[in-house]
Amino acid sequence: MIWITLFLGLNLTGARIVMISADSDPALHRRLGEWIIQHRAIVHEDVLLHTYHGSSMAKEWLSEVLFASTGRLFGWNGFVLLAATVIATCFWLLHHQLLAEGCDALLAAVLVLVAMLACSMHWLARPLLFTHLLILIYAWQLRRFQQQRASARQLFLLLPPLMVLWVNLHGGFVLGLVLLAMYAIGNSIEAWRQPIRPGKSRTLLVLLLVCSLASLANPSGWKLHAQILDFMRSRELSTATTEFASPNFHTVGMRGFLLLLLLLGAALLIIRPRLDATDVLLVGGWGCFALLSARNVPIFALIVTPLLAQWINEFLQANDHSRWCRLYRGWVSRVITSNGTAGTAIVIAVVAGVMLVMAKPAIAGGAPVLVTDFPPDRYPTAVVGYLRAHPDMVRGEMFNYFLWGGYLEFAIPERKPFIDSRNVLYGLNLLHDFRTINEPKPGWQALFARYNVGWTLLPVQHPLNRILELSPHWSLVFSNQQALVFSHVP
């Protein structure tokens, strides 16, 4: 029911619009995926920006191909279909993990709902979702090994092949290596404290080495790792987009994270569980990462929720004979009379039904049942239509609004934008030039000349528009409530 509810809820409600339009990255990834499918080659030189002509790291090429393939079949509905499948599978697996570790069904459901609230901020149709799914699998298997319910052989058969897949799906594969390192360090500390059990630490260190070598199986090899490390070391680059900045607890999206922190703090104060070195590293380390970058909040939730479930479950078992615990057990037995799961046939029927709905009118003609597209009140859809109808109205290269870069790359690929959200690729120099023009600062006109900028596409209230409308060298060629287009007058 968790899987079916999430799958249907994300596909059949307004959430599907948010999943593709909260930022323009889905369009960027679709454009890259379409290019790879069309040319049957990995992108090694950037093909999207007119301002950057350097090498392109193919850190997400496989997920881009998957998203683009579903886009070819179902349009933007296909993006939502794939993303919803990954999200639903992730939380179904989390719930299954909690049940497998002895948690009762009601407690497992409640904790999974809390984790869902914390992760929902990043329920977007982007390659990042594959990192959420794979970090959950990594964390689950490492916990099984820690609890002596999985052998070292099972880890070596599963985790390195998954790393080969992960490194080609998303750059978050580095988090899997960090998680492995935490387990290896934690077990090394415990082996030093209790020398009778050094085997686990050696196994995990070897596994870390093998998975690190497996992560080299990508089109860019070790250069991908170097680029990601350089990006993370540069605070200016890594915080250029809000998801890499520290979480803003005043926003609605952070309420799930706050609730999880509240439950975690209450468990540590009331239950006072015995923590080994690995537990401390997992809670403290990922908590620190989450407070430094909102992007890590879902990772923190997926890793800490099983720990929280274990502590609460052990507390309930230790107080099993107390009156309040007996009341709880009785309530659970009345609320959940059975713990059956939906049959495979039901899941297949649900998926098939949703796919048929999303495929219309491709298979049945007529108006589509579900329309999924970028909303015109947030993206310059009218401008794109105008430029296609009047291609001669603008000349030269474009200067664009940062958040529209990915959308423009997909919507009008013949007109390359100035910038998009891939600051990990093009680095600080282009980012500084963009900011000089965008604010604008002295020297913006020289940068326009250097990059041969002949027209601008910016939101109505953008400060650069106020300067261009007063200049005799620029002319307004399009305007609506969403955007203004200025063209340079020769």
What pLDDT digit, counting tens, does each position of 40-78 carry? Answer: 999 888 889 999 988 887 789 999 999 999 999 889 999
Contact 376, 22 (CB under 8 A): no
pLDDT band at 259 (very low <50, low <70, confident <90, very high): very high
Does the pLDDT of residue 122 top 70, yes or no?
yes
Provide the pLDDT for residue 195: 67
Which has more confidence, 266 or 319? 266
Which has more confidence, 195 or 346? 346
Provide the pLDDT for residue 76: 93
What pLDDT digit, counting tens, does each position of 68-91 carry? Answer: 999 998 899 999 999 999 999 999
Provide the pLDDT for residue 417: 96
What pLDDT digit, counting tens, does each position of 450-459 carry? Answer: 999 999 999 9
What pLDDT digit, counting tens, does each position of 381-408 carry? Answer: 999 999 999 989 999 999 999 999 999 9
Mean pLDDT of 284-306: 95
Sheet holding 474-479, edge to edge: 397-400, 453-459, 483-488, 474-479
Could you tell me what percent of the chain has a pLDDT over 90?
68
Provide the pLDDT for residue 327: 81
pLDDT band at 342 (very low <50, low <70, confident <90, very high): low
Mean pLDDT of 220-247: 84
Provide the pLDDT for residue 337: 54
Provide the pLDDT for residue 461: 94
pLDDT band at 355 (very low <50, low <70, confident <90, very high): confident
pLDDT band at 335 (very low <50, low <70, confident <90, very high): low
Contact 267, 313 (CB under 8 A): no
Least confident of 32-36, 362-366, 436-440: 362-366
CA angle (135, 89, 213) in 5-degree steps: 30
Token pair belonging to 183: 């387990």
Contact 325, 316 (CB under 8 A): yes
Does the pLDDT of residue 339 top 50, yes or no?
no
Does the pLDDT of residue 168 top 80, yes or no?
yes
The radius of gyration computed from the CA coordinates of the chain, to the nearest angstrom, equals 25
pLDDT band at 343 (very low <50, low <70, confident <90, very high): low
Q: What is the mean pLDDT of the chain?
A: 90
Mean pLDDT of 159-167: 97
